[in-house]
Amino acid sequence: MRAFNFCAGPAALPTEVLQRAASELADYQNTGISIMEMSHRGRLFQAVLASAKKNLRQLMAIPDDYDILFMQGGATSQFSLVPMNLLSGAGQAAYITTGMWSKKALSHASKLGNVVEYASTLDTQFTSVPSPEEALVNGQYDYLHYTPNETIGGVRFPYTPETNVPLVADFSSSILSEPIDVSKFGLIYAGAQKNIGPAGLVVVIVKRDLLQRSPTELADVWSYRSVSDANSMVNTPPTYSIYLANLVFEWLLEQGGVAAMAAINQRKAAALYHAIDSSSFYSNPVTLPARSLMNIPFTLADAALNDVFLAEAESAGLHSLAGHRSVGGMRASIYNAVPESAVTALVDFMAQFERRYG
């Protein structure tokens, strides 16, 4: 019996993926040992790694002049690794801030070099994104960093910023949720624990010509160039996380790929926003064009009911609906692995809760 899991991360994984992993947990392909007990340099794990790269390349239509890196340290490590690797030309970078995660990326980078907060929506309490004109960056920067989906605020860029410098994006909470044109980016990174697989893995998609920027004195495990040269095996990679990510990639391909997921994600988000907007009992503060398809925060007109709402939701099999500890309220994260039936169940629960307490 699986509950409906709205956790922001580590988040729901497809039931089929968990069942497949369980079925081959102790004996991988009749070897009598688990994939997580095998050498990362052996034939079987090498095949998993190659398959993960191939499947992700297919899912996101990643051009050949980009490499895919599997790294560790969470998306947070990338807040520092991006400037450590890329800030070696003009010596300065531009950041757009639209919420807590882009603010963190900026603050980590500012310890390592000269960074400019080029545009920000702090004046709207991070309930919007800048206009394409405000986000247009043409200048002497090594890169422009932004966060296409803010996981806490539930704010999404409905467009890709235009710029003449390499575009770096933290796609942690929206990778694989809708098609993107990878060729517009210099570097994409995403912590795995939302739309990819278990925590412990970070996926980096980097344009090969940027690899030359990694300073030679940088430790190999943190150097994009060294990690690329070593095919993500400078040292022992998180083998089980990569194996599970590959099962998720295979599952996504079976569902029809990212375009098919995007259509489902649009329907899920529309149903939940409709439930929120058509009632004065619930509200979401984000401006319409900037509303996230993945993370939907909402509040109750009477905040004193929050704990009752969360407890009753949990009893009804709707898990992890509490908002981020920094903002409170509720948040439903509806990543790829959260089925439409979960959103239907949530919407029904919300209507019924409002009838009883509204």
| Residue numbers at the binding site for ligand PMP (CB under 6 A) | 9, 74-76, 101, 147, 151, 170, 172-173, 191
Report how far residue 43's alpha carbon sits from residue 45's, in angstroms, rounded to the nearest whole number. 6
Among residues 101 and 251, whose Cβ is nearest to ligand PMP? 101
Q: How far is the CB of 103 from ligand PMP (least distance, A)?
A: 11
DSSP 8-state class, residue 211 = G
CB of 323 to ligand PMP, least distance (A): 13
* Residue number, nearest CB to ligand PMP: 74
Rg of the chain (C-alpha set): 21
Q: Is 123 a catalytic residue?
A: no
Q: In this complex, which beta carbon is closest to ligand PMP, that of residue 75 or of residue 313? A: 75
> Is 194 annotated as catalytic?
yes
Smallest distance from ligand PMP to CB 243, Å:
19
Q: Which one-letter amino acid corresponds to residue 34? A: S
Q: Which residues contact 92 (CB under 8 A, 6 or more apart)?
A: 113, 114, 115, 116, 140, 141, 142
Tell me whether residue 20 or residue 104 sits nearer to ligand PMP (CB atom). Answer: 104
Which residue's CB is nearer to ligand PMP, number 8 or number 211? 8
10 cis-preceded (ω within 30 degrees of 0): yes
Q: Of the listed 53, 103, 194, 207, which one is catalytic?
A: 194
- Is the Cα dihedral 65, 69, 75, 81 positive or negative? negative
- 170 classed as catalytic: yes
Residue 160 is given by DSSP the state P
Nearest distance from residue 11's CB to ligand PMP, in Å? 9
CA triplet 310, 5, 16: central angle to 5 degrees?
A: 165
Active site positions, annotated: 101, 170, 194
